[in-house]
Amino acid sequence: MIQLEQRVFVEFADPINHPRAKVWIPPEYTLTGGGAIVLWGKAGNILTASYPIKKDGEAIYTGWEARAKDHRIADPAPLIVYAIGFKLLTENGALKLDQDVVTATSKTPVNHPKLNVKLVNVESVLTGGGAFVDWKNSGNLLTASFPISSDGNSYTGWEVRAKDHIDADPASISVYAIGINLPNSVAQSIKIIQKVIVMPSTTPVNHPQGDVRMDDGFTLTGGGAIDNWDTAGNLLTASFPTRRSGELDYKGWNVRGKDHERPDISTVTCYAIGIKATSV
């Protein structure tokens, strides 16, 4: 029997103007992805970071951090952060998956930063990714963090986009692509298959929202989001895993955006990333 076990870990930050929260996974799990939602209440509070983190002196990413901020108008808001962990269950017991993370940071601050990276190891399977905007003044805010593919089938990289809003604030941006590999002891007998489902919302609105759900037979490892803003700007407030009442595993991904002060109706694009293990 070969089975992938998913577990999602959650932490909360109390409502403040610039909420920030982090969550760690237990050592027997491998981090595959994560997400966040800022629960703005009045004017708006926007995501500025949702990315993997590691403890000082460690080489492996074992946590997830999210950050958000109100913009020009005070709106203290709570923040929820999610970290997704996996392990492989075999007839001989549980095995930890190997992790492969590629990251890059843009060198020159710009008003609308955009950056992508790809996994280098051809054996690695992309499971998630993250974004961090290094804003300095008024604020530079996330508009996209999503998987990318060079052939439309296999997703091997991650792209991040952000923008300043009304007030100029050039910023640099960091992007993370997260992949996993099988441990050497089972690499010749087991194969990991990736599935990415893309779902665009259909009706442009001021506060766009969309959902996508992973197919049966695959287990959700992460997800991504694009806010397809057009004029003044529509900004990300959520990109996080979901599950239906009564379900143990998280199988869905929810994306939310909003315009801010100036109207900009928009759509969002949602990505769900899943994997399954099969015998070779």
For 105-118, the pLDDT digits (tens) are 999 999 999 999 99
Asked if pLDDT for residue 98 goes beyond 70, the answer is yes
The confidence band for 151, taking pLDDT boundaries of 50, 70 and 90, is confident
Q: What is the pLDDT of residues 19-29, one digit of tens each?
A: 999 999 999 99
Which CATH superfamily includes the segment(s) 3-279? Proprotein convertase subtilisin/kexin type 9 (2.60.120.690)
- Mean pLDDT, range 60-89, rounded to an integer: 97
- Mean pLDDT, range 172-194, rounded to an integer: 94
- Mean pLDDT, range 34-53, rounded to an integer: 97
% residues pLDDT > 70 (the chain): 100
Q: What is the pLDDT of residues 228-259, one digit of tens each?
A: 999 999 999 999 999 999 998 999 999 999 99
Here the tokens at position 251 are 């199988």
How much is the pLDDT for 1?
Answer: 66
The confidence band for 171, taking pLDDT boundaries of 50, 70 and 90, is very high
How much is the pLDDT for 87?
Answer: 95
The confidence band for 152, taking pLDDT boundaries of 50, 70 and 90, is confident
Listed residue (276, 275, 222, 213) closest to 244, CA to CA? 213
Number of residues that make up the chain: 280
pTM of the model: 0.97
